[in-house]
Amino acid sequence: MLRVGVIGVGAMGTQHFLRIMNKINGATVTAVSDINEARAKEVIAPFEGVRYIADPYALINDPEVDAIVIVSIDSTHEEYCLEAIKLGKYIFCEKPLSASAEGAWKVVDAEMAGGKRLIQMGFNRRFDPAYEELKNIVVSGKLGEPLVAHCAHRNANYAPQYDDVIAVTGTAIHEIDTMS
């Protein structure tokens, strides 16, 4: 059984947590860390044996955690990835890998230095069957050559820290990824 630690159980993190607990065979969440302790304890309450660990580094270093899911605020991804890489733990990291290009290279270099692929990035649309079908239709030329692309997001609201950087690294990155 793969024992997973989840760092961050906001909206996305809770979905990852529930998916691991209810839909994925051969894996279970053994520990959760979040800056909002009350929220984290609410999420894990229905699941016996899942521990809350306040310090994300303690969760990463916990011997009862084999793999890490990082869904914390974007600015923490790089440091948590680097810590998990040092321990040779598998990582699923929501985008972005880092808040800077230099930081992302630092993570990639650390992973490569270990000689083992450890990181999977959370680019859900890349693997969405509807996106794959649309890309195949566009690439086939069956409908002619694309002239314009209109990309829109319809989030009900945005977190207070949503700024221009997050607009690119958290939102527009999906279009950059799918349009290439």
- Which tens digit of pLDDT belongs to each residue from 38-47? 999 999 999 9
**Is pLDDT at 122 greater than 90 in this prediction?**
no
Average pLDDT over residues 113-130: 88
- Distances, alpha carbon 32 to alpha carbons 48, 67, 108, 154, in Å: 13, 12, 25, 29
71-97: per-residue pLDDT in tens? 999 899 999 999 999 999 999 999 889
Q: Encoding tokens for residue 150?
A: 């209109």
User: In terms of DSSP H, where are the helices of the chain?
Assistant: 11-22, 37-44, 56-61, 77-86, 101-113, 129-140, 164-166, 173-179
122 vs 165: which has the higher pLDDT: 122
Of the listed ranges 26-40, 69-83, 102-116, 119-133, the least confidently predicted one is 119-133
Of the listed ranges 18-27, 38-47, 69-78, 163-172, the least confidently predicted one is 163-172
pLDDT score, position 33? 98
Average pLDDT over residues 121-144: 87
Q: Which fold has domain 2-122?
A: Rossmann fold (3.40.50)
Give the CA angle between residues 9, 86, 48 to the nearest 5°. 35
Confidence label for 67 from pLDDT (cuts 50, 70 and 90): very high
Residue 126 CA to residue 112 CA, distance in Å, equals: 23
Query: In the chain, what are the domain boundaries?
Result: 2-122, 125-179
pLDDT score, position 171? 76
In this structure, which long-range contacts are made by residues 8-15, counting pairs with CB atoms below 8 Å and at least 24 apart in sequence?
A: 8/33, 8/34, 8/70, 8/71, 8/72, 8/73, 9/34, 9/39, 9/40, 9/43, 9/44, 9/71, 10/34, 10/36, 10/39, 10/71, 12/71, 12/94, 13/69, 13/71, 13/72, 14/43
pLDDT score, position 4? 98
